[in-house]
């Protein structure tokens, strides 16, 4: 049974995960991680391609069609780890606070399991850089790997993401929705600076900004259909240097989240209208919207395959529907090209929850073989036509 074989890899899975956790690397800087991955894949007899999408790695197992791709992201976050664990990050200000170390270790485990199988077609292991960030051209690791041919000839793609809010043995998968689309905006309110004692002689950008912020936060509640999910949040405000000087410009930036393309486009239009309040008050504005990750959707048939595998390995009680949310990730760039699905893997530590993107994030490593077994068996069934 694949789960029993995966549990026999527990020590290797933990060793890989902890090695990566101790030496985290930010997006497009995953040099040591990529080296570990490439060396491990070669030791398993896989063909390996490196420097894909800058720092990504692809492992190839088998030949011909069909081709099923399995994806793991490798990058860490700019967070100082607060855990007092023997495997805590050794890199100041950088840690694996989102579980990508576990994703990478799990996919190495899948390669170990599947190399023992005689399979029709090919399994392609995509070890992706930079899911958390974009480069100077606004492209994430998935975009860069696509440009380097990682998805050529692929028929389906599978992935998982750890969930520190759910117990070990819990699998979360939705028949359609994975994550929201995300875009970023940068706006500048322009006015005429001057002395704080004589505001009437200028055009006060701070005053104007207050009205602009109100207009922005009114978009979702008053301009978007209330049954359609949408979020606009301002994350940064920069303006002024002295307490008695009115600045001539104030800059803000924020995030836009949506799950529907029509809503997404309306948010863009309404955001320009809201920032345009600056002109009505005598100022001016500049607005730039940087389009990011699309909505990630599960293919119903591939999601159904994963559900059947999970039930067969863990029983009916393992399945749960994920709580809807507006988090985003770039798996949608891959899954929008072919049939794809992602599931959540319960990794909650007993006695407490370690929130993702927090300095205390951690996982229960007993979940590692479960993730490896489900991905391996789902890939096998897809190739032999049991999907």
- Tens of pLDDT, residue by residue over 362-371, are 999 999 999 9
pLDDT at position 352 is: 76
Instruction: Count the Cβ atoms, other than its own, within 10 Å of residue 46.
Output: 20
CATH architecture of 2-179+295-383: 3-Layer(aba) Sandwich (3.40)
Q: How far is CA 383 from the centre of its chain?
A: 26
Known active-site residue 293:
yes
Rg (CA), the chain: 23
What average pLDDT does this structure show over 106-121?
A: 96
pLDDT at position 365 is: 98
Q: Is 386's pLDDT higher than 90?
A: no
Q: Which CATH class is domain 181-291?
A: alpha beta
From residue 224, give the alpha-carbon distance in Å to each of 122, 275, 278, 361.
Answer: 45, 17, 22, 35
What average pLDDT does this structure show over 166-187?
A: 92
Of 329, 365, 377, 382, the active-site residue reads 365
- Tens of pLDDT, residue by residue over 330-346, are 999 999 999 999 999 99
Express as a percent the part of the chain with pLDDT over 70: 100
Q: Is 273's pLDDT higher than 80?
A: yes
Could you tell me which residues come within 8 angstroms of residue 227 by beta carbon, excluding any fewer than 6 positions away? Answer: none
Residue 174 phi, psi (nearest 5): -105, 150
221 falls in which pLDDT band (50, 70, 90)? very high
Of 30, 293, 329, 377, the active-site residue reads 293
List the helix and strand counts (H, then E) for the chain.
12, 16
Output the six-digit token pair for 86.
């023997």
pLDDT at position 242 is: 96
Per the prediction, the chain carries an average pLDDT of 96
Q: Is 277's pLDDT higher than 70?
A: yes
Express as a percent the part of the chain with pLDDT over 90: 92
Distance CA 33, CA 96 (A): 12
pLDDT at position 353 is: 76
351 falls in which pLDDT band (50, 70, 90)? confident
With residues binned 3-state (H G I as helix, E B as strand, rest as coil), the percentages for the chain, rounded to 5, are: 35, 25, 40
- Tens of pLDDT, residue by residue over 70-97, are 999 999 999 999 999 999 999 999 999 9
From residue 207, give the alpha-carbon distance in Å to each of 181, 196, 250, 349, 350.
Answer: 32, 12, 10, 48, 50
pLDDT at position 7 is: 98
pLDDT at position 151 is: 98
Q: Is 125's pLDDT higher than 80?
A: yes
Q: Is 387's pLDDT higher than 70?
A: no
Q: pTM of whole model > 0.75?
A: yes
Sequence spans of domains, the chain: 2-179+295-383, 181-291
């Amino acid at each position: 049974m694949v789960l029993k074989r995966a549990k026999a890899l527990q020590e290797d899975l933990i060793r890989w995960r902890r090695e990566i956790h101790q030496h985290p690397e930010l997006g497009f800087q995953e040099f040591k991680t990529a080296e570990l991955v490439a060396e491990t894949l070669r030791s398993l007899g896989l063909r390996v391609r490196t420097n894909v999408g800058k720092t990504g790695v692809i492992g190839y197992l088998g030949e011909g069609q069909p081709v099923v791709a399995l994806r793991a992201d490798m990058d860490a976050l700019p967070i100082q780890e607060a855990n007092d664990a023997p495997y805590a990050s050794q890199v100041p200000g950088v840690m694996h606070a989102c579980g990508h170390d576990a994703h990478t270790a799990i996919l190495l485990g899948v390669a170990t399991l599947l190399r023992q199988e005689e399979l029709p077609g090919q399994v392609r292991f995509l070890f992706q850089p930079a899911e958390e960030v974009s480069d100077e051209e606004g492209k994430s690791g998935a975009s860069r790997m696509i440009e380097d041919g990682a998805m050529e000839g692929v028929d389906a793609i599978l992935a998982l993401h750890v969930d520190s809010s759910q117990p070990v043995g819990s699998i979360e998968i939705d028949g359609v929705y994975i994550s929201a689309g995300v875009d970023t905006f940068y706006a500048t309110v322009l006015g005429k600076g001057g002395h704080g004692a004589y505001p009437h002689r200028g055009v006060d950008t701070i005053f104007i900004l207050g009205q602009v912020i109100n207009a922005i936060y009114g978009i979702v509640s008053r301009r978007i259909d209330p049954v359609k999910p949408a979020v606009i949040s301002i994350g940064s405000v920069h303006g002024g240097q002295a307490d008695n000087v009115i600045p001539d410009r104030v800059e803000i930036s924020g995030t836009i989240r949506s799950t529907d393309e029509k809503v997404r486009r309306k948010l863009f239009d309404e955001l320009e209208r809201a920032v345009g309040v600056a002109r009505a008050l005598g100022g001016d504005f500049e607005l730039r919207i940087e389009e990011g990750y699309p909505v990630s959707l599960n293919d119903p048939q591939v999601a159904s395959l994963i559900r059947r595998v999970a039930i067969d390995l863990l029983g009916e009680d393992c399945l749960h529907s994920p709580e809807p949310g507006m988090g985003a990730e770039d798996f949608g760039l891959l899954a929008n090209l072919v049939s794809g699905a992602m599931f959540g893997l319960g990794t909650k530590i007993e006695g407490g929850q370690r929130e993702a993107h927090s300095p205390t994030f951690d996982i229960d490593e007993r979940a590692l073989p479960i993730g490896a077994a489900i991905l391996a068996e789902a890939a096998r069934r897809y190739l032999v036509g049991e999907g």
